[in-house]
């Protein structure tokens, strides 16, 4: 069994998986990795299930040593990682042994990195997830962000996966500054002119942005209707226009309900890109259709599935086929 | 019933633009419909005052598919008497260190602290929505006589169990959190426990009644 010993946690490092589902009805945020794509790839690269727990590292400063042999992978933002003081590139896996030290030295690109380890981080699931719920102080590692001297045990299995590097551009466009959205559901709260303005505007991510939400600075939008919206369930990626006319994008730790009108929602495939924005970064929004959003999402999913099977190095191939608008996985095995 | 896309993997089913017990009953009926019908691709849903937000998996469902299934909802099939709801009595120590704003609520309404306690604890409230923090219930049915505006500047820390008023609503803070509601008392009961499933003592549609207790009883219940 291998271990990760935290030397310096940096400003915010937490254990996350893909999130906590089915409990938003109790006011419990979904949580999970801000960049779910990067978490999935980090897990696949070390032979884990996609939804395993890994460490989400925010900004630079994180430093840890390993105990025992393990496969690790780093994905997500490029935070200037070094392994035993040698620079290592993101989106790949490595073999580590006792005493090896990993460090994230400075922000080069993006804002959140994922550190996965073969077997996953061994923390107990709370409400069916390993994710840290910061608002409720439960889940993850003791319901809190990591501190110096925390020792994280990792799953007992040492998976035999060969160290691999992926070409991230094949899967996800992290350079995109124009975030794609689906208009609505409360577009009638704004005039056509205000909606135009929203799509023409350049916004800047403010320092008051975190895992709960991104507060943006830019042109203020004035609501057509003065009627308050009755609070309703929101989703990750929902863009609320708050009382001061500025957008707040709901991120994974968002409150489950909200009462500001939602002008638009970020499409699922662009959420990982958005997760890598940091304070001061510029962004704008572009409306797209539901069909395009779905098509892009399924395309990326197919690529992830392909990678998953390649990494498994099995003698079977699984193909995804579309029949009557529904997806089926067909497994084809080589004859013995 | 109005159905709108909330991005590419969620939608909102709305029954009314305003708060009403009729709309909230429809929400509860829809909640049961969704539990019973187990529609493929729906991962979870969030009932609120007058709407239900449904989240689905883009790989197995989409807006068109889920909308078609939702249209099969026939509210007349759900007899109100069959809606599962619990009646919960919550002991509350009003005023003092547990309710720092109770005197303010009295003052602006021209009532004594005792009258505030009497009015607040005489009503039966319905949990119409859960949100804001893990387990925070928005309770419907408070008397207009004890309404109070939110704090201008929210407190950085409101202790777990605090009972508050905002406008004509009342609610309970199940976990320590920042908060802007006027705090009038505190319950010693643990409402939220993530180690249990369900993690919360109540659900949408349940009825809550507050029972005034004194400090001695509060301490006793705290020890349990």
pLDDT at B191: 95
Residues 21-50 of B with CB under 8 A from A: 43-50
Output the tens digit of pLDDT for each of chain A's 336 residues.
Answer: 799 999 999 999 999 999 999 999 999 999 999 999 999 999 999 989 999 999 999 999 999 999 988 889 999 999 999 999 999 999 999 989 999 999 999 999 999 999 999 989 999 999 999 999 999 999 999 999 999 999 999 976 555 567 789 999 999 999 999 999 999 899 988 999 999 999 999 999 999 999 999 999 999 987 665 556 889 999 999 999 988 899 999 999 999 999 889 999 999 999 999 999 999 999 999 999 999 999 999 999 999 999 988 887 644 444 556 777 776 656 666 565
What are the phi and psi torsion angles at B4 (to 5°)? -130, 145
Structure confidence by residue, pLDDT tens digits, B193-213: 999 999 999 999 999 999 999
B104-107 long-range contacts, CB within 8 A, separation 24+:
B104/B148, B104/B182, B105/B146, B105/B148, B105/B165, B105/B182, B105/B184
Task: With beta carbons under 8 A apart, name residues in chain B contacting A298.
Answer: 58-59
Task: With beta carbons under 8 A apart, name residues in chain B contacting A238.
Answer: 6-7
pLDDT at A315: 43
Please state, in angstroms and rounded to a whole number, the distance separating the CA atoms of residues B42 and B46.
Answer: 12
- Measured CA to CA in angstroms, residue B37 lies from A181, B10, B19, B186, B222 at distances of 30, 18, 27, 39, 41
Please state, in angstroms and rounded to a whole number, the distance separating the CA atoms of residues A298 and A317.
Answer: 18
* Residue A281 and residue A147 share a domain: no
* Residue A314 and residue A251 share a domain: no
* Residue A305 and residue A281 share a domain: no
* Residue A252 and residue A128 share a domain: no
* Terminal Cα distance for chain B, rounded: 46
Q: Return the percent helix, strand and coil in chain B, to nearest 5.
A: 30, 30, 40
Residue at a domain's end among A121, A143, A168: A168
Judge whether A54 and A3 are in contact, CB under 8 Å.
no
pLDDT at A329: 58
pLDDT at A336: 54
Distance from CA of B3 to the nearest CA of A (A): 9
Number of domains in chain A: 3
Q: Model confidence at B170, in pLDDT bands (50, 70, 90)?
A: very high
Please state, in angstroms and rounded to a whole number, the distance separating the CA atoms of residues B215 and B94.
Answer: 9
* Residue A115 and residue A21 share a domain: yes
* A15 domain-assigned: yes
List all residues 6 or more positions away from A188 whose beta carbon is below 8 Å from its beta carbon. A224, A225
Is B53's CB within 8 Å of A234's CB? yes
Angle between helix axes A36-45 and A290-312 (nearest 10 degrees) is: 10
Q: Is the dihedral of CA A105, A106, A108, A112 positive or negative?
A: positive
* Residue A251 and residue A315 share a domain: no
pLDDT at A1: 76
Q: Which helix (H) or strand (E) holds B121?
A: helix B113-122
pLDDT at A316: 47
* Residue A139 and residue A253 share a domain: no
Residue at a domain's end among A140, A168, A196: A168
* Residue A152 and residue A24 share a domain: yes
* A283 domain-assigned: yes
Domain that holds residue A303: 291-333
* Residue A222 and residue A281 share a domain: yes
Is B132's CB within 8 Å of A257's CB? yes
Among A187-191, B57-61, B80-84, top mean pLDDT goes to B57-61
- 3-class SS of residue B90: strand
* Residue A137 and residue A95 share a domain: yes
* Residue A158 and residue A217 share a domain: no
Distance from CA of B5 to the nearest CA of A (A): 6
Q: What is the CATH number of the domain that holds A244?
A: 2.40.100.10
Nearest CA in chain A to B136: A27
Structure confidence by residue, pLDDT tens digits, B86-95: 999 999 999 9
Residue at a domain's end among A116, A146, A168: A168
Question: Using CB atoms, which residue from A27, A29, A232 is nearest to B53?
Answer: A232
pLDDT at A163: 75
Is A182's CB within 8 Å of B192's CB? no
Q: Which domains does chain B have, with CATH numbers?
A: 2-82 (3.30.1360.40), 87-223 (2.40.100.10)
For chain B, where are the E strands, in sequence order?
2-5, 10-14, 42-47, 51-56, 87-94, 125-130, 137-140, 155-158, 162-166, 169-172, 177-179, 182-186, 207-213
Average pLDDT over residues B24-36: 93
* Residue A123 and residue A9 share a domain: yes
């Amino acid at each position: 069994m291998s271990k990760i010993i935290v030397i310096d946690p940096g400003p915010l490092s937490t254990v996350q998986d893909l999130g906590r589902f089915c409990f938003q009805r109790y006011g419990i945020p979904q949580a999970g990795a801000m960049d779910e794509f990067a978490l999935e790839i980090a897990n696949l690269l070390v032979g884990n299930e996609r939804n395993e727990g890994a460490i989400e590292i925010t900004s630079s400063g994180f430093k840890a040593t390993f105990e025992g042999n393990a496969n690790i992978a780093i994905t997500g933002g490029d935070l200037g990682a070094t392994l035993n003081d040698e620079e290592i590139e993101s989106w790949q896996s490595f073999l580590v042994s006792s005493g090896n030290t990993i460090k994230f030295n400075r922000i080069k690109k993006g804002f959140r990195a994922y550190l996965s380890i073969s077997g996953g981080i061994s923390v107990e699931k709370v409400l069916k997830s390993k994710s840290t719920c910061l608002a409720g102080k439960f889940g993850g590692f003791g319901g809190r962000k990591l501190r110096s001297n925390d020792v994280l045990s990792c799953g007992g299995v040492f998976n035999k996966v060969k160290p691999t590097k992926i070409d991230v551009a094949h899967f996800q466009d992290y350079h995109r500054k124009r975030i794609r959205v689906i208009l609505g559901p409360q577009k009638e709260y704004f005039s056509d002119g205000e909606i135009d303005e929203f799509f023409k505007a350049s916004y800047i991510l403010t320092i008051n942005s975190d895992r709960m939400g991104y507060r943006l600075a830019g042109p203020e939008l004035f609501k057509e209707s003065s009627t308050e919206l009755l609070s309703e369930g929101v989703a990750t990626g929902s863009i609320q226009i708050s009382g001061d006319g500025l957008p707040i994008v709901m991120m994974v730790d968002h409150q489950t309900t909200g009462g500001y009108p939602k002008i638009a929602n970020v499409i699922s495939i662009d959420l990982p890109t958005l997760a890598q924005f940091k304070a001061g970064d510029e962004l704008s929004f572009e409306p797209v259709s539901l069909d395009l959003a779905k098509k892009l999402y399924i395309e990326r999913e197919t690529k992830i599935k392909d990678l998953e099977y390649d990494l498994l190095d099995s003698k079977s191939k699984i193909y995804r086929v579309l029949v009557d608008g529904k997806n089926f996985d067909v497994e084809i095995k080589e004859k013995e | 019933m109005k159905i709108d896309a909330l991005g590419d993997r969620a939608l909102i089913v709305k029954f009314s633009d305003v708060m009403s017990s009729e709309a909230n009953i429809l929400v509860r009926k829809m909640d049961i419909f969704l539990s019973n019908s187990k529609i493929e691709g729906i991962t979870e849903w969030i009932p609120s005052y007058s709407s239900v937000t449904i989240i689905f998996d883009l790989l197995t469902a989409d807006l068109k598919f889920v909308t078609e299934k939702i249209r099969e909802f026939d509210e007349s099939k759900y007899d109100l008497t069959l809606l599962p709801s619990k009646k919960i009595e919550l002991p509350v120590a009003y005023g003092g260190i547990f309710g720092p704003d109770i005197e303010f609520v009295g003052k602006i309404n021209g009532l004594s602290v005792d009258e505030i306690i009497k009015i607040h604890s005489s009503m039966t409230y319905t949990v119409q929505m859960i949100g804001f923090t893990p387990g925070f219930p928005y309770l419907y049915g408070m008397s207009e006589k004890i309404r109070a505006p939110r704090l201008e500047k929210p407190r950085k820390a409101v202790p777990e169990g605090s009972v508050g008023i905002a406008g004509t609503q009342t609610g309970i803070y199940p976990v320590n959190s920042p908060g802007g509601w006027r705090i009038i008392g505190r319950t010693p009961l643990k409402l939220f426990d993530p180690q249990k499933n369900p993690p919360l003592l109540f659900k949408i549609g349940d009825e809550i009644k507050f029972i005034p207790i004194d400090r001695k009883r509060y301490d006793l219940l705290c020890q349990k």
